Amino acid sequence: MVEMLEGFSLASKTLEHFLHENLTDLKSKGLYNVIDPLQSANGPVITISGKKLINLSSNNYLGLATDQRLIEAAVAAAQKYGVGAGAVRTINGTLELHTKLEEKLAAFKHTEAAIAYQSGFNCNMAAISAVMDKDDAILSDELNHASIIDGCRLSRAQIIRVNHSDIDDLRAKAKEAKESGKYKKLMVITDGVFSMDGDVAKLPEIVEVAEEFDLITYVDDAHGSGVLGKGAGTVKHFGLSDKIDFQIGTLSKAIGVVGGYVAGRQELIDWLKVRSRPFLFSTALTPADVAASIAAIDILQASTELHDKLWENGNYLKKGLKELGFNIGHSETPITPCIIGDEQQTQEFSKRLYEEGVYAKAIVFPTVAKGTGRVRNMPTAAHTKEMLDQALSIYEKVGKEMGILK
C-alpha cells in the first residue's frame, strides 16, 4: 500500500501546488488542526493514545451521548428498522419514527410543528436558503455560527453584519434596510447562546426591533436547548415562543445524538418540507439516531434532573476557576472559557493540561478574535465533583507553572 502511494500524484498540477503551499503555510503557523481520535466514548473521562483524561471539551452537556436508555432505544430501532433509512425523506425514507420525532420536537419547543434534518449545520443551510433569496436581506450577528453564515451566503440574500449583541446597531441597520425599499423580506438571525463565550442573545430586545420593522426572526439554539428554559431552550427561557419564527436546534449537543431541526408554525414547516434541499435530496437520519433522540427528549420532558446537575457542575467549575484567578469572561451558561489571550500561550496551556490529565482544547483565531485565545471548558451533567476538583487542581498547577496565575 505504501509503495503504491509513494508514486501518487494529483491529476492536476495546479491543485497539487495549491494544496502543498497552503498546507505547508498552515502547519508553519501552528494553524493546522491535529485530530486526536478517542479510544473511548465521549463521556466525562476519555481515552486518547492510551491516556485517560478528564474531558472538558464535548458538547454532550447532559451526558446523554452515553446514556443507557438512549443506547437501548438505538439498538431496538436498528433491530426493527435496520441501520439506514434507505432514501430521502420525500421518496420513502420517512419512517414512522421520523414523524414521531418531529411531533416530540414540536411539543418540546412549544410550537405547532417541526422538521428534522441530518445535522444542525445542514439545517441552517436548508432553512435560510428555503425562505430568503437575492431580493432579501439578513441582519446577522457578527459572532453567529459558521453554518448560519454559510446558509446566508447560499440564500444569495444581502448579508448585513450586526455588531455582537448590539441592539442599537441592529435597530439602525434594520431601519436603514427597511427605509431603503431595496428588499422584499428582512430577517434577523442570531445564536441563542454564543458558544465561544457562553453569553445569551438579547432576545426580548431583538423581538422588539423585529416587531418595529417586520423582521423574520430566526434563533439557532444549538447551545441553549437542554440548557436554558429548564431544558426547552433560550426562546422558552424568555417566554417568546410565539415571537420567534424559526427555532433551530441540534440533536448533537444536549440531546447527545446527531441531527438538526427547525420548530415553528405549521405552514413554515410545510414550506420547508417542499423547498429545503437537504430534506429533498439527502438521505434521512438513521433509525438509531432518531430513536435515541426521541428517548432523549422523553428524558428531558420527564425531569429537569440532568439540566439541574449541568448547572450545578457549571457553577462549581466557574466558581473554582474564578477563585484561582483565571479570566473566565462573562458567560451566562455552563460554557466556561479560560481566556489566556496570546495564541501560542493558549496552545501551550492546553498542551500542558493534556499532559497533566485534562482535555480542554485551545480555541484561537480565526474561531475567536486575535489576542483572545482561550481554553473552553464544557462541564456536563455526567462529571462528578471529584473529576471537577481534580481538573481544578491541574488548572492551578499549570496556571502557576506558566505564570498565568500569580
Catalytic residues: 195, 223, 253
| CA-angle at 62, arms to 123 and 269, nearest 5° | 25
Counting Cβ atoms within 10 Å, is residue 88 exposed (0-12), middle (13-18) or buried (19+)? middle
Residues 127-156 close enough to bind ligand PMP by CB under 6 A: 145, 147
Q: Is 343 in the site for ligand PMP (CB under 6 A)?
A: no
Give the nearest distance from C-beta 137 to ligand PMP in angstroms: 21
How many CB atoms sit inside 10 A of residue 1's CB?
A: 5
> Among 140, 190, 225, 250, which residue sits at the site for ligand PMP (rule: CB under 6 A)?
250
Smaller CB separation from ligand PMP, 145 or 376: 145
Residues 201-230 close enough to bind ligand PMP by CB under 6 A: 220, 222-223
Q: Is 60 in the site for ligand PMP (CB under 6 A)?
A: no
Give the nearest distance from C-beta 188 to ligand PMP in angstroms: 16
Give the nearest distance from C-beta 119 to ligand PMP in angstroms: 4
Sheet holding 45-48, edge to edge: 45-48, 51-55, 358-359
Query: C-alpha distances in angstroms, 154 versus 9, 66, 89, 129, 133?
Result: 33, 35, 22, 6, 9
What cell was used for 17? Answer: 501546488
Q: Is 58 in the site for ligand PMP (CB under 6 A)?
A: no
Binding string, residues 176-205; x marks residues near ligand PMP by CB under 6 A: ---------------x---x----------
> Among 252, 336, 377, 380, which residue sits at the site for ligand PMP (rule: CB under 6 A)?
252
Smaller CB separation from ligand PMP, 213 or 221: 221
Smaller CB separation from ligand PMP, 377 or 388: 377
Find residue 217's DSSP bridge partners.
Answer: 188
Which residue is at the shortest CB distance from ligand PMP? 120
DSSP E strands in 213-285: the ranges are 216-220, 246-250, 260-264
> Among 120, 198, 231, 373, which residue sits at the site for ligand PMP (rule: CB under 6 A)?
120
Task: Give the end-to-end CA distance of the chain in Å, rounded to a whole number.
Answer: 53
Smaller CB separation from ligand PMP, 121 or 213: 121
Cα distance between residue 327 and residue 310, in whole Å: 21
Give the nearest distance from C-beta 318 to ligand PMP in angstroms: 20
Cα 368 to its chain centre, rounded Å, is: 15
Q: Is 260 in the site for ligand PMP (CB under 6 A)?
A: yes
Q: Is 289 in the site for ligand PMP (CB under 6 A)?
A: no
Smaller CB separation from ligand PMP, 94 or 119: 119
Sheet holding 336-341, edge to edge: 336-341, 373-377, 362-363
Exposure of 319 in the CB half-sphere (CA atoms within 13 A): 9
40: left (phi over 0), alpha (psi -120 to 50) or beta: beta
Cα distance between residue 279 and residue 251, in whole Å: 16
Q: Is 272 in the site for ligand PMP (CB under 6 A)?
A: no
Smaller CB separation from ligand PMP, 191 or 197: 191
Give the nearest distance from C-beta 56 to ligand PMP in angstroms: 16
Interface with ligand PMP by CB under 6 A: which residues?
119-121, 124, 145, 147, 191, 195, 220, 222-223, 250, 252, 260
